[in-house]
């Protein structure tokens, strides 16, 4: 190994300004394809491996916490890292910029979808992008699993979680609870299997010293203090109550916008497991109860959410847009404005609790990153989540390759696109954006030639 290179790699990078961080989080908002697993993989590659803003151990510890929270874990992870680096405003900026580009793009695409309907050009692009997204999720599951599953015990937990959700349809919260209990017990019985590194020495640095390294003391702003906790809680309750109260005052409690604010607040607080776990709840409420959109529109919205940057949970912006448009929330002459308002309302009330969880709970989590008794349950949960992610990749593959069910036609060209995307990501280390663009172009050409 080159000694000079080794010395450089083990020297922490220069401190990062808020402006530099702002530019990175804004860029991430535009390139964050591949759902939560893809976005977490991008952040790991950028912030742990390349920029070395945070060590892998601290990154995974923060990720463990975000995975057990209700809401979008990738957004919460970005908020957590931004908060650690640049205090409260750093967290707010990181989380907001992770979402706002997606909101703008998805609002524009939803308007196009409602105005122009089924456009062959768009359908062709989606045909190629869907198998690419499937490959990205599968590849990201492998990346996370290769870091988290360090011994046979953690592999067994991951396999059990996969079987539980795939074969027995066990709800995700029960899987998280079971894995946490196993992790806690395992930390008492076999602590080496549930410690950082999963039984390996964990002493060598794979990527060099980081700004927030394994042994970096918790910064003063990240220490738990009751006055700060109570102040933040009061501020967030005031923001939430003020926003919902304003909708009620302007449009009435039974109005579409007020009901969207209340519904997406519940969706943010009551559903665990990220975007994929929240989708059944949103489907039941938005399609069956409120009838803001049809089942077909919900599926189309999910396709849009899968193929735009940002969290997959941004499908709520599509739901909010279509619901406000369909019900003419601002009058029949302002459908586009109503749709944009609905998208903003759905996004605001879905993501607001995420900032609360990170800014309130972050100091408590930072106090546990060296405590095996508290981190062992999170290690078990991370192992289980890998199995759940694999199940999601297979779920995507099923719907992409057999869109009409197993009794229908097998989409062989989609399979070829997916395999090519996986090879590009795995073998040739291609970026996600070139893969998505290339697959989208291939799908469009195929659909145009086929008819």
Contact between 385 and 161 under an 8 Å Cβ cutoff? The reply is yes
Q: How far is 191 from 359, CA to CA, in rounded Å?
A: 30
Helix, strand, coil: what percent of the chain each, to 5? 75, 0, 25
The model's pLDDT over 53-62, given as tens digits with 9 standing for 90+, comes to 999 889 988 8
Contact between 222 and 24 under an 8 Å Cβ cutoff? The reply is no
Helix (H) / strand (E) element for 56: namely: helix 56-67
Closest CA to 187 of 174, 198, 200: 198
The DSSP secondary-structure symbol of 311 reads -
Contact between 79 and 222 under an 8 Å Cβ cutoff? The reply is no
Torsion angle of C-alpha atoms 310, 315, 318, 323, degrees rounded to 10:
-150
3-state secondary structure 201-240: CCCCCCCCCCCECCCCCCCHHHCCCHHHHHHHHHHHHHHH
Q: Any bridge partners for residue 272, and if so which?
A: 70
Q: Return phi, psi of residue 272, to 5°.
A: -115, 160
Closest CA to 207 of 278, 133, 147: 147
Closest CA to 96 of 68, 112, 75: 75
CA geometry: angle at 192 spanning 187 and 197, to 5°? 105
Closest CA to 70 of 320, 338, 293, 277: 277
The model's pLDDT over 229-287, given as tens digits with 9 standing for 90+, comes to 999 999 999 999 999 999 999 999 999 999 999 999 988 886 655 665 567 678 888 98
Cβ-Cβ contacts under 8 Å for 321 (sequence gap 6 or more):
106, 107, 110, 111, 114, 339, 340, 342, 343, 346
3-state class (DSSP) for residue 51: coil
CA dihedral sign of residues 109, 113, 119, 125: positive
pLDDT averaged per 10 residues, the chain (length 451): 46 92 94 74 89 91 80 91 96 96 93 78 80 80 81 94 88 80 91 64 63 90 93 97 98 97 89 62 86 83 76 91 97 96 97 94 79 74 82 80 85 95 89 82 91 65
Closest CA to 261 of 275, 249, 274: 249
3-state class (DSSP) for residue 424: helix
Contact between 149 and 383 under an 8 Å Cβ cutoff? The reply is yes
Q: What is the predicted pLDDT for the residue at 7?
A: 44
Q: Using alpha carbons, list the distances in angstroms from residue 83 to 19, 62, 247, 361.
A: 14, 11, 30, 12
Closest CA to 383 of 78, 176, 134, 81: 176
- End-to-end CA separation in angstroms for the chain: 56
Question: Which spans in 117-225 are helix H?
Answer: 120-148, 152-167, 172-189, 191-194
Q: What is the predicted pLDDT for the residue at 231?
A: 96
Helix (H) / strand (E) element for 278: namely: helix 275-282
What is the number of other CB atoms lying within 10 angstroms of the CB of residue 450? Answer: 9
Q: How far is 246 from 236, CA to CA, in rounded Å?
A: 15
Cβ-Cβ contacts under 8 Å for 336 (sequence gap 6 or more):
111, 325
Helix 372-401 vs helix 172-189: crossing angle, to nearest 10: 140
pTM of the model: 0.73
């Amino acid at each position: 190994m080159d000694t000079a290179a080794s010395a450089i790699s083990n020297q922490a990078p220069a401190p990062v300004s808020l402006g530099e961080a702002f530019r990175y989080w804004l860029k991430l908002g535009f390139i964050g394809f591949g759902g939560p697993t893809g976005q977490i993989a991008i952040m790991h590659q950028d912030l742990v491996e390349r920029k070395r803003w945070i060590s892998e151990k601290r990154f995974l510890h923060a990720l463990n916490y975000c995975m057990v929270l209700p809401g979008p874990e990738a957004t919460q992870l970005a908020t957590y890292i931004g908060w650690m680096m640049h205090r409260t405003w750093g967290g707010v900026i990181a989380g907001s910029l992770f979402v706002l580009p997606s909101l703008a793009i998805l609002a524009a695409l939803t308007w196009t979808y409602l105005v122009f309907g089924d456009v062959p050009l768009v359908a062709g692009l989606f045909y190629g992008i869907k198998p690419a997204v499937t490959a990205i999720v599968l590849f990201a599951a492998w990346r996370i699993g290769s870091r988290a599953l360090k011994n046979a015990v953690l592999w067994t937990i991951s396999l059990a979680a996969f079987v539980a959700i795939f074969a027995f349809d066990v709800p995700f919260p029960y899987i998280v609870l079971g894995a946490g209990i196993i992790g806690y017990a395992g930390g008492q019985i076999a602590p080496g299997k549930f410690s950082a590194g999963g039984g390996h020495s964990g002493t060598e640095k794979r990527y060099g010293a980081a700004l927030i390294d394994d042994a970096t003391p918790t910064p003063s702003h990240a220490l738990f203090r009751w006055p700060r906790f109570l102040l933040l809680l009061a501020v967030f309750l005031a923001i939430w109550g003020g926003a919902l109260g304003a909708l009620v005052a302007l449009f009435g409690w039974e109005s579409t916008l007020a009901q969207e604010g209340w519904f997406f607040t519940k969706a943010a607080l009551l559903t665990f497991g990220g975007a994929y776990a929240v989708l059944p709840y949103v489907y039941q409420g938005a399609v069956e109860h409120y009838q803001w959109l049809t089942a077909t529109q919900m599926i189309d919205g999910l396709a849009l959410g899968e193929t735009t940057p940002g969290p997959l949970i941004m499908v709520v912006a599509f739901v909010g847009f279509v619901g406000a448009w369909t019900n003419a929330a601002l009058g029949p002459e302002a459908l586009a404005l109503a749709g944009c308002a609905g998208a903003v309302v759905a996004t605001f009330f879905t993501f607001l609790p995420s900032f609360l969880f990170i800014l309130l709970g972050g100091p408590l989590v930072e106090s546990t990153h060296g405590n095996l008794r508290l981190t062992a349950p999170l290690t078990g949960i991370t192992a289980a989540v890998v199995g759940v992610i694999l199940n999601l990749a297979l779920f995507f593959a099923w719907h992409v390759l057999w869109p009409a069910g197993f009794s229908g036609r097998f989409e062989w060209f989609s399979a070829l696109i997916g395999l090519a995307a996986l090879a590009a990501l795995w073998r040739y280390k291609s970026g996600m954006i070139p893969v998505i663009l290339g697959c989208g172009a291939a799908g469009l050409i195929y659909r145009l030639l086929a008819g």
